Structure 1
Amino acid sequence: MPHEFLQDRTVTKEVRYVSVMGNFKRYDFAFVEEGTKKLVIDLHKNRFAALDKDEIEKDGKIEHIFHVTEIEADELRGILREIL
């Protein structure tokens, strides 16, 4: 039995691709604006989250979302501050 979709629409969005070499590894991300936040997609780990500048400062948030160590998360926060 086919499903009845509550909503089905196509939207066009700009995507910003950013690659940066950190102290520990290379980071490759895609960013899509989503309301007041940006959808941040880690292209290596297939992890993503809708984030803003306030959210990246929350303790443990970056570590949990992107499965990185505390040291890597500090580096990643610095990168995200420049972009968000």
Structure 2
Amino acid sequence: MNEEYKEKKSKLLQAKEEYRKLLEESKITSRSTFKDFSERHSRDLRFKQVPKKKDQELFFSQFINALKKRDKENRMRLRKMR
């Protein structure tokens, strides 16, 4: 049982990593929506590797939040340079 759990967790982590790569390659911005992203990439194997739509949306929103944070930090840095 424990071995099976570890294998499932490992598969999910690998799927999440592949999904993250897809997000990076898809050139989405902080204004992109999950609906647009999923319509565009639903046929991609990396998209399908994360079986639960809830998880797909969660990973997407985490990625978008990271983009927003990075954009905000970049704006702050630019302001300080002026």
TM-score category (smaller protein):
0.3 to 0.5
Q: Which has the larger radius of gyration?
A: 2
Q: TM-score, normalised by structure 1?
A: 0.36
Higher relative contact order (CA 8 A, sep 6+): 2
